[in-house]
A and B are shown apart, each in its own frame.
Chain A
Amino acid sequence: MEFFRQVNLDWMGKAKYFVALSMTLLLIGGISWVSKRGLRYGIDFKGGTLVYVRFAQQPPIDQIRKGLSEQGLGDSVIQRISDISNSNSNEVVIGLEQHGQGEQALDAGKVAILKALHTTFGSGDPSKQDLNEATPSSLAEFLARRDPLALGPTAGGRYTQLARRIADYRDKEHNGLVSNFDDLKNVEGVTDGVVASLRDAYYPGNFTIRNVEIVGPKVGAQLRRQAILVTLYALAGMLVYIAFRFEWVYGAAAVLAVFHDVLITLGFFSLLNFEISLTVIAALLTLVGYSMNDTIVIFDRIRENNRLMRREPFPAIVNRSINQTLSRTILTSGLTFLTVMVLFLMGGQVLRSFSFALVVGIVVGTYSSFGIAAPLVVAWNHWRGHGVAAGTGSAAGNKTRAGEAASSRLAAAGRR
């Protein structure tokens, strides 16, 4: 079966529309970027505190806000997490910006948030602990002390395993929230006696802390600088390799195209108010690799056709190369797009912004290979070969002399 056969489109003839499209996208992104005063950095790059909390029922936002205000955290941001696959996830993120880097401990914000949650939603009985917050080691210690199975003082190992199983049951099957002690009887080795002793010391709280992230402001700036540097280094490395395998123009065009992809993707992030986090950087790097791959496939064909079709004008060669690889381009991009779309829809909260970057990036990255990278090479060739020869005036004349050696080398290399 085949979708495409003998396509014959004049891609280079439409180059100006591509440029116009890219400019528009860049402009829209840029305007959003500037009007929102920069990108929305996640706490990785900005510093601050994030606490992810899951509730057993619909999260009572007003109550949470009230509890936070009582702890002097009126300026914290509370956000519901809605999942596409599970719109009722009962999760909220409580975010707190760093209040300057004083002598305050790094986790002061976290401690205050937890205190607010405990005073608002705790049992009110200080002698009991929240079962959903107990760590396996504290459970094991408690069980070994109470010894509900009457195993004697040497049974620590058995209780450690039991505690591990209870915690696993809670975390893996009940999403970290056990609201009824009787549920625990489903765990292998839990008897009525074990449940009874747990009841004495624990209560089933109605929320659980899923994730805590605290980043100091200094680290945030450091991470941001490093992310930018590392991306630039990687791009430079690619530029050198492509310049070595092809011509430096190809390298420059490919890197410019990839740069364009990253900027447009960031524009979309700004437009839709997604946060830039460390995982998004990983996604951007994936997109760089992907887009580069796409561009090189087309460049490879151009190089090959250049040898076969010496007499044809360069734009025709490029057109033919894009047409010949079109089937592959559509197939690969389509399949990869499908993959990241699945990830976006099913990948859960953590992968959300990551897969969003890829969904946008793959479309833009595929487009830029024929819409930006190839036209750039054609334009350069035109300027070098014909533009100079046909040019009049002293400026063009100067260019001829200065660029003569380079241009003849390029022509020879390009048509080898």
Chain B
Amino acid sequence: MNPNLKWKALFILAIILLCVYGLLGLPAFPTSWTQAKENFSKQIKLGLDLQGGTHLVLQVQVQEAVSQQTDQVVDWLTTHLRDKNIRYDEIRKVDDTHILVRNVVPEQSSQFRDFTNDNLRGDWDLAPAPGEGSGYLLTMKASTVAGIQQRTMEQSVETIRRRIDALGLTEPTIQQQGRGENEILVQLPGEGDPTRAKAVIQAGGQLELRRVVDPTPFPSEAAALAAHGGVLPPGSELLRGKAEAGQAGQPGGETWWLLDRTPIITGRDLRSAEENRSTEYPGSYEVHFSLSTEAARRFGPFTEQNIGRPMAIVLEHRVQSAPIIQSRIEDSGRITGRFGQQEAHDLALILRAGALPASIKYLEERTVGPSLGADSIRHGFQASVVSLLVVMMFMVFYYRISGVNAVVALILNLVILLAALAYFGAVLTLPGIAGVILTIGMGVDSNVLVFERVREELRAGKAPVSAVDTGFQRAFLTIIDTHVTTVVSAVFLFVFGTGPVRGFAVTLTIGLIANIFTAIYVSRTIFNWHLARMPRQAALSI
């Protein structure tokens, strides 16, 4: 054999072995056929549309985090201006990014400007308010807004990931999605019923322990206001409570608690949380939590000073319960209520995973039942096999021995395509199968192009060797042009597309590159090998 040809054959063999190894030999080398099959189904990851599962797109309401930041600055300014004795009429949040300070006493105007600028210059712009005598307008800087939004997104993704991991679902995907504004994509393979996962993801998870200002709750907001002469004490706030028997003014009615605005303990101070059987209500569950050391150092003295007074446990801005502090508590507590086991379990899980920095809204939900996924695979597989067989039979019938060459090239193309998907960890989806179909189409086309060209040259009276040579040379340019054009468009689809369109682009690109290799390099090598073994005068079977 021609040494050059031998090297080429060895190179092709090496590629085939590498591909087969990638498909069947990983992660553990198989010792039996079933094991090889198992490896194969592990290596080729199926998309949700083929495997069944839930696909969720949710949007983080990042504006809430910005608005919260503004609220905090309003509180901070109120406190500090009081300390500095700077007088003004009113501090008001105009909208999410603007704060208006009205009528600062003119003599103190420069003091106010200096103080505000010194402390808030990094994140806020200070300007005289339009239409106000000596009022000022604070505007949050665009870079600060962007920073808050980005942090909120990152935190949300992290929190959701921790929560879903705790649910113990297999191989979930949680990632930011670039398609729209502030969107997160969550994919839960194999999960046919997303109700629980959705509830766990969406739960706010804000836990706060706060000091209670008035030890008894009020039956309505108005009653609370009336008790304080129409104005709430500074730094306090009214929160609605979960109505429970024996706690409210009227059983089953509303309860309102007057609490400190700032919490003593928040969800961030938790070290752990877990569900336990309730001692008060047999058959129901409660959640026990323990605090970090640093928080315990604050909590101990606080509880000691407030023995005999209630402390509010606030969950998602609702007073869950307000137990009386019996003695000094160092680092543990419990959330009571008539929880079911799963409810308590999920609440503990959400508390451990931490609170969401902003609420979320669902934009898209798709659930593919496992039986439909299995159906799609079966149908897709059957259709692909039948059509491949038809194509191959035709090629052999029409091009005789050369047709066998095309069949080898096509099969090898598919093997390389699948192996590449396995090595890159790409996911095979329904649109991905569309890409495979286009690849097969173009693979057949490349072979037909070459063979027709060789036939033309033979018809023109050339000897087999030079006909094959010219045929490949001429067809090469065409094949490159068609393939590069399609790859160029696939790259655009990959860069600008999302989801299904991307899956299509990935399989198509890999398939086309593999095709250039098989339809030109491999096919050519087989032809040369065949020609070298053939008697000089014999006709080429094409």
Stretch at the interface among A191-199, A210-218, A377-385: A210-218
The one of B365, B372, B489, B498 in contact with A289, judged by C-beta atoms closer than 8 angstroms, is: B489
Interface set of B (CB-CB < 8 Å, partner A): 49, 52, 57, 179-180, 190-193, 198, 361-372, 374-376, 378-380, 382-383, 386-387, 390-391, 394, 397-398, 400, 430-431, 434-435, 437-438, 440-442, 444-445, 448-449, 452, 455-456, 459, 474, 477-478, 481-482, 484-486, 488-493, 496-501, 504, 508
User: Is A230 located at the chain interface by the 8 A CB criterion?
Assistant: yes
User: Is A39 located at the chain interface by the 8 A CB criterion?
Assistant: no
Q: For residue A170, which residues in chain B have a CB less than 8 angstroms away from its CB?
A: 371
Q: For residue A331, which residues in chain B have a CB less than 8 angstroms away from its CB?
A: 398, 448, 452
CA distance A286 to B508 in the complex (A): 9
User: Is A342 located at the chain interface by the 8 A CB criterion?
Assistant: yes
Give the 10 A-B CB pairs with smallest separation, nearest first: A176-B371, A348-B379, A282-B431, A234-B489, A339-B387, A171-B371, A171-B370, A212-B367, A300-B478, A214-B365
Q: For residue A288, which residues in chain B have a CB less than 8 angstroms away from its CB?
A: 489
CA distance A216 to B59 in the complex (A): 11
The one of A5, A233, A242, A351 in contact with B492, judged by C-beta atoms closer than 8 angstroms, is: A233
Q: For residue A230, which residues in chain B have a CB less than 8 angstroms away from its CB?
A: 492-493, 496-497, 501
CA distance A332 to B434 in the complex (A): 17
Q: For residue B493, which residues in chain A have a CB less than 8 angstroms away from its CB?
A: 230, 234, 285
User: Is A297 located at the chain interface by the 8 A CB criterion?
Assistant: yes
The one of A279, A328, A336, A348 in contact with B449, judged by C-beta atoms closer than 8 angstroms, is: A328
B343 to chain A, nearest CB (A): 15
User: Is A107 located at the chain interface by the 8 A CB criterion?
Assistant: yes
Q: For residue B374, which residues in chain A have a CB less than 8 angstroms away from its CB?
A: 171-172
User: Is A296 located at the chain interface by the 8 A CB criterion?
Assistant: yes
B441/A336 in contact, CB under 8 A: yes
Please give me the residue from chain B that is nearest to A231 by CB atom: B493
User: Is A185 located at the chain interface by the 8 A CB criterion?
Assistant: no
B27 to chain A, nearest CB (A): 20
Please give me the residue from chain A that is nearest to B394 by CB atom: A335
A235/B482 in contact, CB under 8 A: no
A197 to chain B, nearest CB (A): 20
Taking chain A's interface residues, is the majority helix, strand, or loop, or is none over half, making it mixed? helix
B374 to chain A, nearest CB (A): 5
Please give me the residue from chain A that is nearest to B342 by CB atom: A141
Name 20 extra pairs, CB < 8 A, besides A211-B366, A282-B500, A292-B489: A1-B400, A105-B362, A135-B193, A210-B372, A213-B367, A226-B496, A230-B492, A238-B485, A292-B486, A293-B485, A296-B485, A297-B445, A297-B478, A328-B445, A331-B452, A335-B441, A340-B387, A346-B386, A350-B375, A354-B430
CA distance A263 to B192 in the complex (A): 38
A175/B375 in contact, CB under 8 A: yes
User: Is A271 located at the chain interface by the 8 A CB criterion?
Assistant: no
User: Is A327 located at the chain interface by the 8 A CB criterion?
Assistant: yes
Q: For residue B474, which residues in chain A have a CB less than 8 angstroms away from its CB?
A: 304
A118 to chain B, nearest CB (A): 13
Most interface-central of B442, B474, B498, B501 (chain A CB within 10 A): B501
